[in-house]
Amino acid sequence: MAAEDKPLPGYVQREFEEYLKCGRLEHGFLRVRCESCRAEQLVAFSCKRRGFCPSCGARRMAESAAHLVDEVLPEAPIRQWVLSFPYPLRFLFAAQPRVMGQVLKIVYRAISTHLIKKAGYSKSTGHPGAVTLIQRFGSALNLNIHFHMLFVDGIYLDQSNQNARFHWVKAPTSAELTHMAHTIAHRVGRFLERQGLLERDAENSYLTSDGENDDPMNQLLGSSITYRIAVGPQAGRKVFTLQTLPAGDPDDPCGNTVGKVAGFSLHAGVAAKAHQRKKRERLCRYITRPAVSEKRLSLTSGGDIRYQLKTPYRNGTTHVIFEPLDFMAKLAALVPRPRVNLTRYHGVFAPNSKYRALVTPAKRCKGSKLKVPDETRDEPAKHRASMTWAQRLKRVFSIDIETCSTCGGAMKVIASIEDPVVIHKILDHLDSKTAISNSLLLPDNRAPPQVDLFH
């Protein structure tokens, strides 16, 4: 798949290998038995990867959204800020995640400063908070690193009685968004210059080489970012598309909620009020959704892969078409590097913030000298158990391993089977007994999520 027949990095190869084992009984499972009627059920293991597995991505989405709503986000107005970057910066962030982390700090400081000044306070008295989900994908399975930032729609003020009072701030105007986009673009450019990653001359600015041109991932990353075919005889050409709708209005329908400067695009048009808990959870699910939706994936009569766009492009494009090998290249480009955290907490939500225990539902923080009164503190174990593994399995895959489908009794995990020899013996035994016994249930390999979790 890689240029010059060089192998892809080990973490990308493991992503594909583990995905092929995900949800398949022949690679391991749990034995679950009903305590009343002794009926058994087998539950296959998941790959738990972060790249492109729709099943594990949906499970992680349900878990992350529940965690944010139940333990992190307070009962306050929430606004989503979305920042996208020019193509060269997307490639730089994919190749050098450390630089992406520094740029995220610049972006947070710019938006938080805007909120503090608009509220009429200073940085010493006003304290904003945000959660950032770093998304790596676009709707066409292209590599598009951008930031989804959930800010409290205001700031918290210090109180002498160990409490934090919330001060609401009005939504940003179009002029303010454009000004912030300009500020972010200027500060990011200045930072990259200091790092030696950006050079300017009298007419242009351009990114310098990162010194890793021989990395086999670079070709895949660059092709995915620019919507081009990465491998095969058509390499370098634009990805094939289907335009089944007439071209739309070229004017931006969200022009009053978007600021655009030099390839930077800042959007802040989606918000949830304090009492809109369901909308807040839908927003959390949206920003933590997986990269690939199997509901929009299909095969053409010629054996190519057709992927439907969630929202048609303005030129009427509704689908993109990939050759099988190029489709794998697109998936490989979506795999994040190991130990790169894609969820970041800022301000009052940061783990070491002394205000985290005061404003979050979980009432927990690290290294804080402030003590929340006992009557307002919930048990940590209660929050950690807000969604168990079995509950997530039921919520995402409609698989209930807590209740027996035969008698309604309680189910209990009795064994974890991982030895290949034992696995094959059990499965062969169940295959031979299927026609004459219903006491052991042999389920099919795990299907994709059975509920619509992508909208």
Q: Is residue 433 pLDDT above 90, yes or no?
A: no
Cross-strand bridge partners of residue 81: 149
**Band (162; pLDDT cuts 50, 70, 90):** low
Within this chain, do residues 166 and 28 fall inside the same structural domain, yes or no?
A: no
Domain C-terminal end among 378, 413, 433: 378
Query: What pLDDT does 231 receive?
Result: 84
pLDDT at 24 over 60: yes
* pLDDT score of 144: 95
Quote the mean pLDDT of the chain.
83
- Are residue 216 and residue 281 in the same domain, yes or no? yes
| 429 occurs within a structural domain | yes
CA distance 273 to 153: 9
Mean pLDDT computed over 349-365: 87
- Cα dist from 32 to 108, 313, 408, 449, whole Å: 46, 47, 14, 21
Query: Is 450 a domain residue?
Result: no
Residues 134 and 66 in one domain: yes
Neighbouring C-beta atoms of residue 182, cutoff 10 Å: 16
Residue among 309, 174, 299, 304 nearest 248 (CA)? 309
What are the pLDDT digits (tens) for 364-396?
Answer: 766 544 444 444 444 444 444 455 666 666 665
Q: Quick one: 337 and 417 in the same domain?
A: no
Q: Which residue has the higher pLDDT, 226 or 213?
A: 226
| Cα angle: 37, vertex 42, 47; to 5 degrees | 150
Number of domains in the chain: 2
Residue 375 pLDDT: 46
Say if 102 falls within a structural domain.
Answer: yes
Please give the residue that has the higher pLDDT: either 83 or 398. 83
Q: In Å, how far from its chain's centre is CA 199?
A: 32
Rounded to an integer, the average pLDDT of 262-286 is 93
Q: 168: how many CB neighbours lie within 10 A of its CB? A: 12
Does residue 455 fall inside a structural domain?
Answer: no
Give the pLDDT confidence score for residue 244 in this predicted structure.
Answer: 77
The radius of gyration of the chain from alpha carbons, rounded to an integer in Å, stands at: 25
Query: Is 213 found in the same domain as 94?
Result: yes
Contacts of 14 (CB under 8 A, 6+ apart): 49
Residue 239 inside a domain? The answer is no
Q: Are residues 166 and 186 in the same domain?
A: yes
The answer as to whether 180 is a domain residue is yes
What's the domain range around 346? Answer: 55-226+257-291+331-378
Q: Return the bridge partners of 216, or none.
A: none
Reading the block at residue 400, the tokens are 């209930």
Q: Would you say how long the chain is, in residues?
A: 455
pLDDT at residue 393 in the model: 62
pLDDT(255) > 60: no
pLDDT band at 161 (very low <50, low <70, confident <90, very high): low
Predicted pLDDT at 256: 56
The pLDDT of residue 38: 85
Tell me if 157 sits within 8 A of 125, measured CB to CB. yes
Both 122 and 216 in one domain: the answer is yes
Q: What is the pLDDT of residue 410?
A: 86
Which residue, 339, 357, 378, sits at the end of a domain?
A: 378
How do 440-441 and 40-44 pair as beta strands? parallel
Nearest residue to 154 via CA among 138, 172, 139, 140? 172
d(CA 176, CA 79): 15
Mean pLDDT confidence for 439-450: 47
pLDDT for position 39: 83
Quick one: which H or E segment has residue 264? strand 264-272
Q: Both tokens of residue 346?
A: 């800022």
Please report where in the chains the tokens 């909120």 appear, as a residue. Answer: 115
Q: CB–CB of 411/41 below 8 Å? A: yes
pLDDT of residue 1: 47
Residue of 286, 222, 280 whose CA lies nearest to 82: 286
Q: What's the confidence (pLDDT) of residue 327? A: 95
- Cα 87 from Cα 91, distance rounded (Å): 6
* Residue 160 main-chain phi, psi, to 5 deg: -75, -15
Dist. CA 23–CA 397, nearest whole Å = 11
Q: For 123-143, what is each residue's pLDDT tens digit?
A: 889 999 999 999 999 999 999
Dist CA 199 CA 205 (whole Å): 6
**3 pLDDT more than 60:** no
Coil, strand or helix: which one is 185?
helix
Q: Is the domain of 179 the same as that of 218?
A: yes
The verdict on 111 and 45 lying in the same domain is no
| Mean pLDDT of the 34-45 span | 85
Query: Rounded mean pLDDT of 332-352?
Result: 94
Work out the percent of the chain whose per-residue pLDDT is above 90. Answer: 49
The tokens for 386 are 């807000």
Query: Which amino acid is located at 230 in the chain?
Result: A
Q: 214 and 173, same structural domain?
A: yes
Report if residue 67 sits inside a domain.
yes
Task: Tokens for 70, please give them.
Answer: 């139940």
Q: Is it the case that residue 167 has pLDDT exceeding 70?
A: yes
Q: What is the per-residue pLDDT for 441?
A: 46
Are residues 37 and 116 both part of a single domain? no
Q: Do 175 and 146 lie in a common domain?
A: yes
Residue 161 CA to its chain's centroid (Å): 38
| Residue 165 in this model has a pLDDT that exceeds 50 | yes
For residue 454, is it within any domain?
A: no
pLDDT (tens digit, 9 = 90+) per residue, 78-126? Answer: 999 999 999 999 999 999 999 999 999 999 999 999 999 999 999 889 9
